[in-house]
Amino acid sequence: MADLMEATGLEKGGIYRHFPSKEAVAAEAFDYAWEGAFQERVRDLGNIEGSVARLKHLIANFVERRSSIPGGCPLLNTAVESDDGNPVLRERARRALSKWQNLLTSVISDGIQRREIRSGVDPNRLAMLIISTLEGALMISRLERNRDALLAARAHLDEYLDKEVRALGPGASTSKAKRQESNQRKRTHAN
């Protein structure tokens, strides 16, 4: 609260005129931070063709782009911090996770329908695999203060998507989508 008072120039009473509790302030702060992080994750997604290329783009955005709010992933931080202490914040984190998982599941399901992704792939399991791998790698990268785990996770997921997820044969990703993937990799490595 002291940091919030300093940043806004408001006294505690002025803050509580807008929010009923400390938990409500925390929930609004989380929503703000999550929305910024989520927008970075989906940046330029509409310009990418092909489901596997879209998944790789989402992974690249997670690894290469940061929210304007410092401190790592708001979802990971909030999930750990609110596990037992703040049920309102925990529910917000659960909703954020669902939003991210639903986006990935939608891309995967669309890819299955278009025959770009193998029919035996379980969209929910693949979405959780991607999220778990990225969030775990982010935690390790933050602890070690380097990007090695994030880069390794991205390389592993990219290879996994190509070898285990991408459909082979008719309906598989077009050469245009593969060129876009290659160009995206070059752009993110240049950053």
Decide if pLDDT at 190 tops 70. no
Supply the pLDDT for residue 4.
Answer: 58
CB atoms within 10 A of CB 98: 11
Query: Which tokens in the block code for residue 183?
Result: 């160009």
Look-up: residue for tokens 């290329």? 53
Confidence of residue 112 (pLDDT cuts 50, 70, 90): very high
Supply the pLDDT for residue 62.
Answer: 96
Confidence of residue 173 (pLDDT cuts 50, 70, 90): very low
Q: In CATH, what number does 2-190 get?
A: 1.10.357.10
Q: What is the DSSP letter of 174?
A: P
CA 35 – CA 41 distance, rounded (Å):
10
- Output the average pLDDT for the chain: 86
pTM score of the predicted model = 0.80
Decide if pLDDT at 171 tops 70. no
